[in-house]
């Protein structure tokens, strides 16, 4: 999770934003909180695995939110491929 913490640019947090980048093929690493609703996260995990994207499990939404630099929990977050940023798409 260190890569997620270190990157200020080139990361996204939350189901909607992460899902958009995943569909566009821009995700390098997908982080998923173990306590998130699996009905929402499992399709993203499957899509990531189909694309050969590394999936990292995190114990809690609170921990993932904190690592993403937000004060609320997050179900998913992603590090984008080098050269991509949140504003690119």
pLDDT on residue 89: 47
Residue where the block lists tokens 């909180």: 33
CATH value at residue 34: 3.30.1330.30
pLDDT per residue over 1-60, tens digit each?
A: 566 766 667 899 999 999 999 999 999 999 999 999 999 999 999 999 999 999 999 999
When divided into structural domains, the chain yields a total of 1
Asked whether residue 49 is assigned to any structural domain, the reply reads: yes
| Contacts for 13 with CB less than 8 Å, ≥ 6 apart | 64, 65, 68, 69, 70, 74, 76, 77
Asked whether residue 87 is assigned to any structural domain, the reply reads: no
pLDDT on residue 10: 86
Asked whether residue 33 is assigned to any structural domain, the reply reads: yes
pLDDT on residue 85: 56
pLDDT on residue 4: 72
**CB-count exposure of residue 59 (10 Å: 0-12, 13-18, 19+):** exposed
Q: Residue 54 sits in which domain range?
A: 2-82
pLDDT over 80 at 62, yes or no? yes
Asked whether residue 35 is assigned to any structural domain, the reply reads: yes
């Amino acid at each position: 999770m260190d890569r997620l913490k270190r990157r200020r640019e080139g990361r996204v947090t939350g189901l909607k934003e992460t899902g958009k980048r995943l569909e566009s093929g821009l995700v390098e690493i997908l982080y998923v909180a173990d306590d998130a609703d699996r009905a929402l996260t499992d399709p993203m995990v499957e899509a990531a695995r189909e694309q050969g994207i590394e999936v990292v499990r995190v114990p809690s939404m609170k921990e993932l939110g904190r690592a993403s630099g937000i004060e609320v929990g997050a179900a998913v977050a992603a590090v984008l491929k080098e050269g991509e940023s949140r504003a690119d798409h």
